[in-house]
Amino acid sequence: MIYKNGGEIRVERDERAVRQVLVIGASLSAATLGVFALSADRPTEYLFLLPIAVICALLMISHLQRRQVCVIRSDQIGYGSVNGRMWWVQRDQVGSVGIQQYPLLQVSFYGLDGRLMTSTVFESFSVEELRKAFESAGIPVR
């Protein structure tokens, strides 16, 4: 989702993509727990299912709670999480931005000399929305 407020452009994750990731994660977790439950012979072997279920639940909860955001201001570009830690790059030092969709969406910030400054991975973001936000802010996208 792209939000514009004065001179600030804010891009947040795509909630539909988050739901898809959670459905896939819950399905894989249920299948894994089902396989282990069917292969258990003794009642004590079921105790091994509890830590697996807790880890799966914690991963899904942390994915829901950690809402990533990219903020483009006239003087800075920030990335991090809503109500969490943000990393800032001075906008006048950024020559271009590279957006690549590998298994995860990677955004690379390049300096005026073309060298890589920093890079980050965004979960559940739309490539088109990020590209559109940077281009509308006047930042070249590779």
How confident is the model over 53-82, as pLDDT tens digits?
A: 888 888 778 767 677 899 999 999 999 888
Count: domains in the chain: 2
Render pLDDT for 22-58 as a digit per residue (tens, 0 to 9): 788 888 888 888 888 888 777 777 777 888 888 888 8
Residue 142 lies in a domain: no
Beta strands in 41-137, from DSSP E residues, in sequence order: 68-72, 76-81, 86-90, 94-101, 105-111, 116-122
Determine what percent of the chain falls in helix, strand and coil, rounding each to the nearest 5. Answer: 45, 35, 25
Residue 23 lies in a domain: yes
* Co-location of 73 and 131 in the same domain: yes
| Residue type (1 letter), 60 | M
State the CATH number of the domain containing residue 85: 2.30.29
How far apart CA 21 and CA 63 sit, in angstroms, is 9
* Co-location of 82 and 132 in the same domain: yes
pTM for this model (two decimals): 0.73
* Co-location of 58 and 83 in the same domain: no
pLDDT of 93 strictly over 90: yes
More confident residue, 60 or 133: 133
How far apart CA 141 and CA 138 sit, in angstroms, is 9
* Co-location of 79 and 128 in the same domain: yes
Segment holding 3, helix H or strand E: strand 2-5
| 141 neighbors 134 (Cβ within 8 angstroms) | yes
Segment holding 23, helix H or strand E: helix 15-39
**Domain extent for 132:** 2-14+67-136
The structure tokens 């590279």 sit at 98
Residue 141 lies in a domain: no
The structure tokens 């920030």 sit at 78
